[in-house]
């Protein structure tokens, strides 16, 4: 999924997950922009928000592996925490 976001804006995506393990990647070009990613499980558990620095590197990327995932519709929230103008990004759920 490709989109763009500005500061203070929230984008929502959903995906039906049937596998017990899945990966989520949020990638953007300008690492000086700050985006967050929050995951919501089918039963309402909240994971995050995760930030670029959550993995110890500021590189315009958030990469997560979810294990023991519930089957059902998961929701993914991308938030433009600090963005100058617009920031294009890609969200992949594999």
Domain boundaries defined on the chain: 2-93
Query: Closest Cα partner for 16 from 75, 85, 92?
Result: 75
Tokens of 40: 């919501």
What kind of fold does domain 2-93 have according to CATH?
Answer: Jelly Rolls (2.60.120)
Q: How far is C-alpha 46 from the chain's CA centre?
A: 12
pLDDT score of 78 more than 90: yes
Residues facing 90 on adjacent strands: 2, 27
Tokens of 14: 């959903």
Q: Give the model's pLDDT for residue 55.
A: 83
Q: Mean of the pLDDT values across residues 10-18? A: 98
**Binning pLDDT at 50, 70 and 90, where does residue 56 land?**
confident
């Amino acid at each position: 999924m490709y989109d763009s976001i500005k500061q203070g804006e929230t984008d929502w995506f959903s995906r039906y997950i049937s596998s017990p393990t899945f990966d989520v990647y949020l990638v953007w070009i300008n690492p000086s922009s700050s985006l967050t990613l929050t995951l919501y499980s089918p039963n309402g558990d909240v994971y995050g928000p995760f930030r670029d620095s959550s993995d110890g590197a500021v590189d315009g990327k958030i990469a997560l592996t979810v294990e023991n995932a519930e089957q059902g519709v998961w929701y993914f929230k991308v938030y433009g925490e600090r963005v100058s103008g617009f920031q294009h990004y890609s969200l992949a759920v594999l």
